[in-house]
Amino acid sequence: MSDALDESVGDAPVDDQLTMGIDPWERNWMKLTIALLVGFFAAVTVAGFAAGFQLPGAEARVDPRTVAIEGPWANPGVTDLGNGNFEAYVLAQVWSFSPREITLPVGAEIDIYITSSDLQHGLKITDTNVNIMVVPGQVSKVSYTFDEVGEFPYICHEYCGSGHAAMFGTVTVVSEADYAALADGGGDAETEGTDESAAEEGDA
């Protein structure tokens, strides 16, 4: 088809003498554009491949028909690996995340493995760089270090039916002392009063 189109153009005379006639200022603009694009792209490449601000990649495949019944997502939850390292297996289903709550000590580094047993979902932890698609058949892996105390909702951001707007969980990051108190099964970590006693326990 394209040959037929081009044949019909025929020969333009004095072909070799034709230039584009680009205005010199427009030529400068084109160079500036390229410089800007190269600069920006270099910055994000360095940030991505050398400074740890990396996108998720291809992790593993699973069978969505059995993933909620057998394997690590059959018992979703957080595992404390020690030394501030954590691992979470999160299952997304209409319309909830399991677990719905994750509590971590400040400074925790966590690897989150998430998949779906039904539809596509998304997961984004507010105020962090955790932002990932959750696709049945695929494992999404994302890692993050929670450097600040606070509450960080994780929200489903991909339409998954009528309950989509209610699909969320919360990461609660507490001080190490409070976390230790919780881990020991002792009292409310939220009240101020426990800080002292928890610190004493930690020293002991």
Partner 1 sequence: MPTSPTDDAADEGTPPFTEEYGVEHFKPTGTLFVLALFVATLVLLWASVFVILLSRGSL
Partner 2 sequence: MTITERTTSTAGSRRYELTQWERRFIGGHVLIAIIALGIGSLIGPLQALEYSNVDLYQYLEPILQSYYQGLTLHGVLNALVWTTFFIVGFTTFTTIVGLRRPLSHPKINLAGFITMIVGLLMAAVPMLLDQATVLYTFYPPLEASWAFYTGLTLVVVGSWIEGLGFYLTLRAWRQENRGVRSPFIALGGVINAAMWQIATLGIAVEMLTMLIPWSLGLTDGTDPSLARTYFWFTGHPLVYFWLLPAYVSWYGMLPKQAGGKLFSDSLARLAFWMFLIVSVPVGFHHQFVDPGVPQIWKWIHAALTYSVFFPSMITAFTVIASLEYAARQRGGRGLIGWVRALPWTDPSVTAQLLAGILFMFGGIGGLTNASYNINLVIHNTAWVPGHFHLTVATAVTLSFIGITYWMVPHLTGRQLWGRRIALIQAWSWFVGMVIFSNAMHMLGLLGAPRRTPLGEAPYVPDEWNGHLLRVSIGGTILLFSVILYLVVMYKTVRGPKVAAEDVPEVPIAESLRHPQLTPVWLDRFKPWLIAAAVLLVLAYGPPLVDQLINLDYNAPGTDFVPW
CA angle 89, 91, 94 (to 5 degrees): 170
Spatial separation of the C-alpha atoms in residues 194 and 185, rounded to whole Å: 13
Residue for token digits 């740890």?
52
Site string for partner 2, 95-114 (x = CB under 8 A): --------------------
- Selected binder of partner 2 within 160, 171, 174, 198 (CB under 8 A): 160
Q: Are 139 and 59 in contact (CB under 8 A)?
A: yes
Please report, as residue ranges, which positions from 14 to 43 form the binding site for partner 2 (by CB under 8 A): 15, 18-23, 26, 29-30, 33-34, 37, 40-41
Q: Site map for partner 1, 154-183, x if CB under 8 A? A: ------------------------------
Pairing state of beta strands 150-155 and 168-174?
antiparallel
Among the listed ranges 46-54, 63-71, 169-177, 183-191, the one in contact with partner 1 (CB under 8 A) is 46-54
Alpha-carbon distance 111 to 89, whole Å?
A: 9
Among 22, 30, 46, 47, binds partner 1 (CB under 8 A): 47
Burial (0-12, 13-18, 19+ Cβ within 10 Å), 125: buried
145 contacts partner 1 (rule: CB under 8 A): yes
| Residues forming the site for partner 1 (CB under 8 A) | 13-14, 17-19, 21, 23, 25-26, 29, 32, 36, 40, 43-44, 47, 51-54, 127-130, 142-145, 147
